[in-house]
Amino acid sequence: MDWADLNNVILKDDILTIDCKNNKVYQHFINNSGQIVNEQEFNEFCRSRLSRANS
């Protein structure tokens, strides 16, 4: 997927949600990935990429 094709990407409570501009929404439960991900940092990274792609 290209960032320009997305409306939003959010990680909350171990659920990754990808909202696409073509009206599709994908959700995936992140289960025992073996890595600790800071939700706030991940979401800020996604917001910055989305704003670049949509500007």
- Buried/exposed code over 20-46 (b: 16+ C-beta within 10 A; e: otherwise): eeeeeeeeeeeeeeeeeeeeeeeeeeb
pLDDT of residue 33: 67
pLDDT tens digits for range 23-50: 999 999 988 767 788 999 999 999 999 9
pLDDT of residue 7: 96
Residue 22, phi then psi, degrees to nearest 5 = -90, 20
Q: How far from the centroid of its chain's Cα atoms is residue 33's Cα?
A: 16
pLDDT of residue 40: 97
Q: Reply yes or no on whether the pLDDT at 55 is more than 90.
A: no
**Where along the chain do its domains lie?**
3-53
pLDDT tens digits for range 5-29: 999 999 999 999 999 999 999 999 9
Looking at the chain, list the stretches that DSSP marks H as alpha helix, in order from N- to C-terminal side.
39-53
